[in-house]
Amino acid sequence: MLKPIVEYKDVHKSFGEVEVLKGINLDIYPGEKIAVIGPSGSGKTTIIRMLMTLEEPTSGDIYVDGKNLWKMEKNGEMVRANEKHLREIRSDIGMVFQHFNLFPHMTILENCMTAPIHVKKEDKEEVRERSIHMLERVGLGDKLNNYPSQLSGGQKQRVAMARALVMRPKIMLFDEVTSALDPELVGEVLEVIRDLAKHEDMAMVLVTHEMDFALDIADKVLFLDEGIIAEQGTAREVIEQSDNARLQEFLRRFRK
Amino acid sequence: MKWNWEIFFDAFPFVLQGLGITVGLTVTCYLFALLLGFFWTFLRRVPSRPFHWFVTWAMEFIRSTPPLVQLFFIYYAWPMIPGVGVTLSPFASAVLGLGIHFSTYIGEIYRSGIESVDKGQWEAATALNFSTYQKWRKIILPQAVPPVIPMLGNYFIIMFKEVPLASTVGAAGILYMANTYGARNWAYLEPLTIVGIIFLLLSYPSAIFIKKLERKMNTRFDKNTILENSQKGAVL
Amino acid sequence: MIKINALIEVFPQLARGLGITVSVLIAAAIFSYIMAFAAGLCRLSKNVFIRKATSVYVEIFRGTSLIVQLFWLYYAIPMLFGIQLGSNWWTGVIAIGLNYGAYMSEVVRGSILSVAKGQTEAAIALNMSPFQRMRLVIFPQALRMMLPEFSNYTIQMLKATSLVSLIGMTDILYYGDIIRSANLSQAPIVYVLVLIFYFLLALPLIFLQRKAEEISKKGVASQ
């Protein structure tokens, strides 16, 4: 039996008075491709942000490879994890953001090389080769010395993916990565993701509004509504065969 | 010299006598600068290119040279210019000297406020056949001024802190009184400390008030914040 | 009528003060930059005591007038440290440095804070340590953001050096005052030349500031 690489156990998250996640239980298996869909405010982005250590759960536990992400043992007790603990586990997780968040003061090649060199202390030449290869793979091999400000939105997002991939994560998180793009640029980004889904054995979690795309590449689809996982199953099951009224309402609005 | 509490309490009322002049100067200089600022702003908008270049560099000259020197020029030099023959009182010299100096900063503030008004507003005003005066009065200025009010408020506080320079030409504000007391009693430290305290007591709450004002203004006028607030739901 | 003789005579006189003006400016500038970074970073510290203590410094020096600070230090330093610093040069440098250091610390603090949140999150996602995030991502961008304001404050410090003439330092204005008090009718020429002198010194700084604005426009992500 394959063990899950990520486990959410009864995770709750409140922002002030507002409870956004009301008890999430989820297992993610190695190599699984998961799409998370749902209306605004349902908490879908918060789920992956907690895994990326950008938000802390209000209660509940998240395990990565069997290790508790947000808690650690100290003198026989479980206390809130310190930065060192978070960094150890974080090294297996990567994220691509809705607004790219490329480093504007570096070329796209430098954007990709900086983290492996400084964080993982890898050999500079090796990192350079890998970065060039990755940037070529996402179709930007001819713009290595350009700065982010010189690229289109779609190009920036592809760089962002290359940058995350060079770190060789076991899990890649995608936070509505096409929502901030002009419609004609969305396709090139989806193509890259499709290629990754087909050829990479890392787990991928995509928060997205692109239903047809989700149908195409996802092994599992989660419908998040009002802070809980309202529907879970294969893409076909969730998007085409569910009889959940709210889900159907939601799909009506989003499927072209 | 050691700290002497007796002197401190003795000097207090003496120094305080200068408060009227200090505050009066601040208000007068500030109002003068506010008025003159408009002058610079409209001067800059004159379409002639050489004129624009000249005005820009005149402003830069005034802005980048020490206000103290400008003050001395007005007080000592101006009356000496052949044909002028008018001597200015310390108070008047300060108003002119500091007022002109800071009017250049105020002019810049007005300019940034005006430039932040959407270009479309001008076009709409023209299409509706407003006269130039009406355009400014009803459409442009009402949109240009409110966002820069916090910045203008800041300059009031800045003015307050620059006014003590006037003591060097004899304006009897709190710094002048403190130095006078010091000279008479050979005890400068305590009166100067009093001046510092008075400044803090007056400027610190004003600064906080301005910050609050800025926050209020920002949430009303910052379209980014408005956009952000409306998308808060989508972030989750 | 401008007497050409007067012009030729006055300028060299004023130039005698150049050394003091420039040396006070450079020393005060360096001191203020150091204070700006130290205080700015301290105000971002997680330690409440460091934060509050630095805030006291910043608020006192921002809330009071430079000329008052100058006079105060002139009398206070000999008393507090029991020494005559030998000259008032140090008093001037310290006063200007502390005053503008306080203002610039806000610029440091503000620009670090305004580097977009997304940059920090991207750095976290790439598993950089807090120190690496600062050094590789936030600081380089914040530095670019600070440049225009820092150049602006440097020009202000040049203007501020004229105040040291009030505590007896022989700078440009000091020599101008001497000529004026010897011969009041010369006052217009003298002070106009003093202004021109300061303006000439300011020109390179003004150009630097324009350059700084250009640099800060690229290479920074802020929202």
Which chain B residues are within 8 Å of A44, Cβ to Cβ? 236
Q: Where are the alpha helices (DSSP H) in B88-188?
A: 90-115, 119-127, 132-134, 141-162, 174-185
Nearest Cα residue in chain C from A98: C118
| A171-175 and A203-207 strand pairing | parallel
The residue of chain B nearest to residue A175, with distances taken between CA atoms, is B235
Contacts of C116 (CB under 8 A, 6+ apart): A101, C221, C222, C223
CB contact under 8 A, A104 and C126: no
Q: Which amino acid is at A159?
A: V
Contacts of C221 in chain A (CB under 8 A): 101-104
Give the number of A-B residue pairs with CB atoms closer than 8 Å.
Answer: 13
Per run of 10 residues, the mean pLDDT along chain B (length 236 residues) is 81 92 95 94 88 93 95 91 84 95 94 86 82 82 85 91 94 92 89 93 89 77 43 34
Closest CA to C122 of A95, B37, B1, B58: A95
- Structurally, chain C folds into a number of domains equal to 1
Is C90 a member of any domain?
Answer: yes
Is the Cβ–Cβ distance between C218 and A149 less than 8 Å? yes
- SS3 sequence, chain A? CCCCCEEEEEEEEEECCEEEEEEEEEEECCCCEEEEECCCCCCHHHHHHHHCCCCCCCEEEEEECCEECCEEEECCEEEECCHHHHHHHHCCEEEECCCCCCCCCCCHHHHHHHHHHHCCCCCHHHHHHHHHHHHHHCCCHHHCCCCHHHCCHHHHHHHHHHHHHCCCCCEEEEECCCCCCCHHHHHHHHHHHHHHHHHCCCEEEEECCCHHHHHHHCCEEEEEECCEEEEEECHHHHHHCCCCHHHHHHHHHHCC
Closest to C155 (Cα-Cα) out of B104, B82, B60, A107? B60
Q: To the nearest whole angstrom, how far is the Cα of B229 from the nearest Cα of chain A?
A: 13
Cβ within 8 Å, pair A119-C128:
yes
Nearest to B199 among C64, C71, C180 (CB): C64
Measured distance CA(B44)–CA(B52) in Å, rounded: 6
Q: How far apart are CA C70 and CA C93, in angstroms?
A: 9
For residue B139, the tally of other CB atoms under 10 A from its CB is 17
Which residue in the set C67, C163, C188 is minimally distant from B77, CB to CB?
Answer: C188
- Interface residues of A toward B, Cβ cutoff 8 Å, are 20, 40-46
CA distance B44 to B53: 9
- Per-residue confidence (pLDDT) for residue B230, from 0 to 100: 39
CATH number at residue C200: 1.10.3720.10
Judge contact between B179 and B189, C-beta under 8 A.
Answer: no
State the smallest CA–CA distance between residue A45 and chain B in angstroms. Answer: 5
Query: What residues of A are in the C interface, CB distance below 8 Å?
Result: 52-54, 83, 87, 90-91, 93-95, 97, 99, 101-105, 114-115, 118-120, 147, 149, 160, 163-164, 167
Block residue for tokens 């950089």:
C128
Is the Cα torsion angle B65, B69, B70, B71 positive or negative in sign? positive
CA distance linking residue C135 with residue C112, whole number of Å:
11
DSSP H or E segment with residue C172: helix C172-182
pLDDT tens digits, one per residue of A160-214: 999 999 999 999 999 999 999 999 999 999 999 999 999 888 999 999 988 888 8
Please report residues of A whose CB lies closer than 8 A to that of C140: 105
Find all residues with CB under 8 Å of B192, minimum gap 6, and list them. B178, B182, C68, C71, C72, C75
Tell how strand A59-64 and strand A67-68 pair up. antiparallel
Best to test chain A binding among C46, C127, C145, C217 (most A CBs inside 10 Å): C127
- Higher pLDDT among residues C77 and A229, named by residue: A229
Nearest-Cα residue of chain A relative to residue C220: A104
Helix (H) or strand (E) holding C9: helix C4-15
Nearest Cα of chain B lies from the Cα of A98 at a distance, in angstroms, of 10
Cα C141 to Cα C144: distance, rounded to the nearest angstrom: 5
DSSP string, C72-140: HHHHHHHHHHSS--SSSHHHHHHHHHHHHHHHHHHHHHHHHHHS-HHHHHHHHHTT--HHHIIIIIIHH
User: So what's the ipTM on this one?
Assistant: 0.88
Q: Which tokens hold the place of B180?
A: 């006078």
Calpha distance A134→C144 (Å, rounded): 30
Each residue of B172-209: pLDDT tens digit?
999 999 999 999 988 888 999 999 999 999 988 988 88
Rounded CA separation A104/B80 (Å): 57
What the block records as the tokens of B5 is 């509490």
Q: Which residue of A has its CA nearest to C143?
A: A105
pLDDT in tens, A62-72: 999 999 999 99
pLDDT of residue B117: 85
Instruction: List the subunits that have 3+ CB pairs under 8 angstroms with B.
Output: A, C
Please indicate whether, in this complex, the C-beta atoms of A46 and B233 are within 8 angstroms of each other: no
Compute the mean pLDDT over every residue in chain B, rounded to the nearest whole number.
86
Question: Which residues of chain C does B80 touch, with a Cβ-Cβ cutoff of 8 Å?
Answer: 184-188
Chain A positions in Cβ-Cβ contact with residue B233 (cut-off 8 Å): 40-41
Distance in Å, alpha carbon of B197 to nearest chain A alpha carbon? 41
Contacts of B111 (CB under 8 A, 6+ apart): B41, B44
Domain boundaries, chain B: 5-231
pLDDT of res. B220 = 61
B contact test, residue of A14, A18, A19, A40 with most B CBs within 10 A: A40
CB < 8 Å to B173, chain C: none
Interchain CB distance below 8 Å, B203 and C78: no
Instruction: Decide if C191 and B77 are in contact by the 8 Å CB cutoff.
Output: yes
- Domain range holding C181? 4-217
Q: What is the DSSP string of B56-103?
A: HHHHHHHHHS-HHHHHHIIIIIGGGSTTT--PPPHHHHHHHHHHHHHH
Q: Give the pLDDT confidence score for residue A58 in this predicted structure.
A: 94
Distance from CA of C43 to the nearest CA of A (A): 22
Q: State whether residue B192 sits within 8 Å of chain C by CB.
A: yes
Nearest to C2 by CA among C175, C185, C198: C185
Neighbours of chain A (3+ CB pairs under 8 A): B, C
Residue of B nearest to C82 (CA): B1
Q: Which residues of A157-180 are buried (b: 16+ CB within 10 A; e: fewer)?
A: bbbbbbbbbbbebbbbbbbbbbee
Put simply, the answer to whether A87 touches C220 (Cβ < 8 Å) is: no
Residue C116 contacts residue C187 (beta carbons within 8 Å): no
pLDDT at position B227, please? 40
User: In chain C, which stretches have pLDDT less than 50?
Assistant: 223
Would you state the pLDDT for residue A1? 63
Tokens 């008032």 belong to which residue? C88
Cβ distance of C199 and B64 shorter than 8 Å: yes
Contact B175 C1 (CB under 8 A): no
CA angle C118-C122-C126, nearest 5°?
Answer: 170
Q: Tell me the shortest Cα–Cα distance from B138 to chain C, in angstroms.
A: 32
Strands A6-15 vs A59-64: parallel, antiparallel or unpaired = antiparallel
pTM of the model: 0.80
CB within 8 Å of A137: residues ≥ 6 apart: A162, A192, A195
Q: What are phi and psi of C221, to 5 degrees?
A: -110, 110
Q: How far is CA A28 from CA A4, A65, A177, A232, B167, in A?
A: 5, 10, 20, 12, 75
Looking at the complex, does the CB of residue B168 fall below 8 Å from at least one CB of chain C?
yes
A230 touches A53 (CB < 8 A):
no
Calpha distance A122→A71 (Å, rounded): 28
CA neighbor of A47 nearest in space, from A38, A39, A55: A55
Measured between beta carbons, the chain B residues lying within 8 angstroms of A54 are none
Report pLDDT for B235.
31
Q: What is the DSSP letter of B138?
A: I
Give the integer Cα–Cα distance in Å for B115 and A196: 47
Tokens encoding B26: 């601040």
Tens digit of each residue's pLDDT (9 = 90 or more) over A69-95: 999 988 888 889 888 899 889 999 999
Asked if C68 and B196 count as a contact pair (C-beta separation under 8 A), the reply is yes
CA distance C62 to chain A (A): 32
Q: Which chains touch C (3 or more CB pairs under 8 A)?
A: A, B
Q: What radius of gyration, in Å, describes the C-alpha atoms of chain C? A: 21
pLDDT at A7: 95
Q: What CATH code is assigned to B5-231?
A: 1.10.3720.10
Chosen for mutation from B76, B175, B185 (greatest number of chain C CBs closer than 10 Å) is B76
